[in-house]
Amino acid sequence: MRRDGAYPPLLLALCVTVALIAAIPLLFVVGYTVSLGWGAAWRLIVRPRVGELLVNTTELMLGCMILCAVLGTAAAWLVHRTNLPGRGVWHVLLAAPLAVPAFVTSFGWVSVTGAVEGYGGALLIVTLSYYPLVYLPVAATLRGLDPALEETARSLGLGSWAAFARVVLPQLRPAVLGGSLLVGLHLLAEFGALQMLRFPTFTTAIYDQYRSSYDAQAANMLAGVLVACCAVLLLAELRLRGRRRYARLGSGAARIAPPVRLGLWSAPALLAVLGVVVLALGVPLGSLARWLVVGASTAFPLGTLAQTAGTALGLGLMAALLTTLCAIPVAWLSVRHRGRVSSTLERSTYIGNALPGIVVALALITVSIRFVRPAYQTTGLLLIAYVIMFLPRAVVSVRAAVAQAQPVLDDVAHSLGAGTISRLRRVTLPLMAPGVGAGAALVFLAVVTELTATLLLSPTGTHTLATQFWSEVRDVDYGAAAPYAALMVLISAPATYLLTATARRST
């Protein structure tokens, strides 16, 4: 709009503030390592225990990324490119595990059989929880692929398998790799599921160090190593994105490729998809239902349930509001005032995406104890943690919303006699509302089911659905834990459905 202008100072100041808040955890980790001194840091890092954790974390992460890539891609191909019966239903069911927090899935399994403890079980459960992160982008790419490319390959003499391998797979690569890296990042941050499965990784070790031995030094250094792991994944992601070319779709209706006929393979394919859905959704939700019945037969904690639900919803609403308010100036600056400064500020708000909740929590605890003592153990500090962790989701949505409200529409309204307030009310806000709302909803959902940071940061006496669930599970009172888990799933299910539905329409 103002092509010739510099950055507006007030907006810039707001954005710098937001970016600094978002950078607190990273600055803390780096600053802490530096202040500790190289020698001391080295002693804390190079220990057999750290090596053990590194091996555990890496083998779980790599195993899960590979399995998710295979499972997600295969499922997406079956559902979106073949004549598998009931594809619409399978699409929803295959995406649905996103609505079930990983710690609820692992609760469902652990409460049925102890056999899932250890590497194999952990691998199974995290894969079942996270494969939709590959399935969804691959499905979107498959639907958006121009069938003309595959047809050209066929016309050049390739068989259907060869065409798939040489033309379709290379185009899926960005989606598969991008999705797998996202799985890796989620896994590095995963705490609840792995703690329940008794498979120690960096996150669980940091928590134990902090909670049981109060060894802040060791915990902080472990956090440093964890951040380094995240940085490796993130660098891989950046490299990948730099080379990625986005297929530009024409404005006309995209032609849909004719589905591959499965023929005799229909039955095995159906069984495979059914198997995935049963393992990922059926077992956890079934056992959740069973424990609900068991719990209800003894004492249904209606009072605590309502109270913790109220707390979770309240925190969710406040965090959604606060995060969206922080996202708006950053998104506005990055869309309307393109430049090096604005893109740096925008990118710094994405740091939270790569930082595990446990690192954010640890950073805020240490920083608040050292510099702003009164803030320690307050709801405000917890809300700041949510803002840092979920700001990326809000910025992405709000950014798209600001892009919707193109400056040329502002110009047109201006020429038609609308003043500043009137333009905001009649053009800019109505256009931005859906995107801003979607961003707020994403933050709200994430907060309602957030466990790790909430466990560490919530003020004494504040219990959310997730933390109350966690303490019941710790006491091995599965029946009492079930209602909290069920409520979390119920809250996040409709929104997850809507989000996958929009993803489907936009492809």
Partner 1 sequence: MTGLTIRRLSKSFGSVRALAGVDLDVPARALTAILGPSGCGKTTLLRLVAGFTTPDAGTIAFGDLLVSEPHTAIPPQRRRIGYVPQEGALFPHLRVADNITFGLPSAARRSRKRLAELLDLVELHSSTAERYPHELSGGQQQRVALARALAPNPSVVLLDEPFSSLDANLRLSTGRTVAQALHAAGATALLVTHDQNEALSLADQVAVMREGRLVQVGSPGAVYATPADSAVARFVGDAVLLPAVVTGRTARCALGVLSVRGGPGEGQGQVLIRPEQIEIVHGGTGVPALVGAVTYFGHDATVAMTIQPDGPTVTARVSGTRTPDPGTHVHLTVNGPVTTFPGRETAAA
Task: Point out which residues bind partner 1 (CB under 8 A).
Answer: 3-4, 404, 406, 408-409, 411-419, 426-427, 430-431
Q: How far is the CB of 400 from partner 1 (least distance, A)?
A: 13
Q: Closer to partner 1 at the Cβ: 59 or 411?
A: 411
Query: What does the DSSP 8-state code read for residue 46?
Result: S
Q: Are 278 and 343 in contact (CB under 8 A)?
A: no
Q: How far is the CB of 142 from partner 1 (least distance, A)?
A: 25
Q: How far is the CB of 423 from partner 1 (least distance, A)?
A: 9
Rounded to a whole number, what is the distance in angstroms from the first to the last CA of the chain? 30
Based on DSSP, count helices (H) and strands (E) in the chain, helices before strands: 26, 0
How many of the other CB atoms lie within 10 Å of CB of 393? 21
| Closest by Cα among 110, 111, 133, 107 to 187 | 133
Q: Closer to partner 1 at the Cβ: 82 or 404?
A: 404
Q: How far is the CB of 333 from partner 1 (least distance, A)?
A: 20
Q: Closer to partner 1 at the Cβ: 373 or 505?
A: 505
Q: Is the dihedral of CA 436, 437, 443, 446 positive or negative?
A: negative
Q: Closer to partner 1 at the Cβ: 410 or 472?
A: 410
Q: How far is the CB of 263 from partner 1 (least distance, A)?
A: 40
Q: Is the dihedral of CA 174, 179, 183, 185 positive or negative?
A: positive
Q: Closer to partner 1 at the Cβ: 427 or 447?
A: 427
Q: Are 443 and 323 in contact (CB under 8 A)?
A: yes
Whole-angstrom Cα distance, residue 441 to residue 454? 19
Q: How far is the CB of 477 from partner 1 (least distance, A)?
A: 51
Q: Closer to partner 1 at the Cβ: 82 or 406?
A: 406
Query: What does the DSSP 8-state code read for residue 145?
Result: S
Whole-angstrom Cα distance, residue 410 to residue 426? 10
Whole-angstrom Cα distance, residue 141 to residue 161? 18
Q: Closer to partner 1 at the Cβ: 157 or 417?
A: 417
Q: How far is the CB of 421 from partner 1 (least distance, A)?
A: 11
| Closest by Cα among 93, 2, 4, 7 to 341 | 7
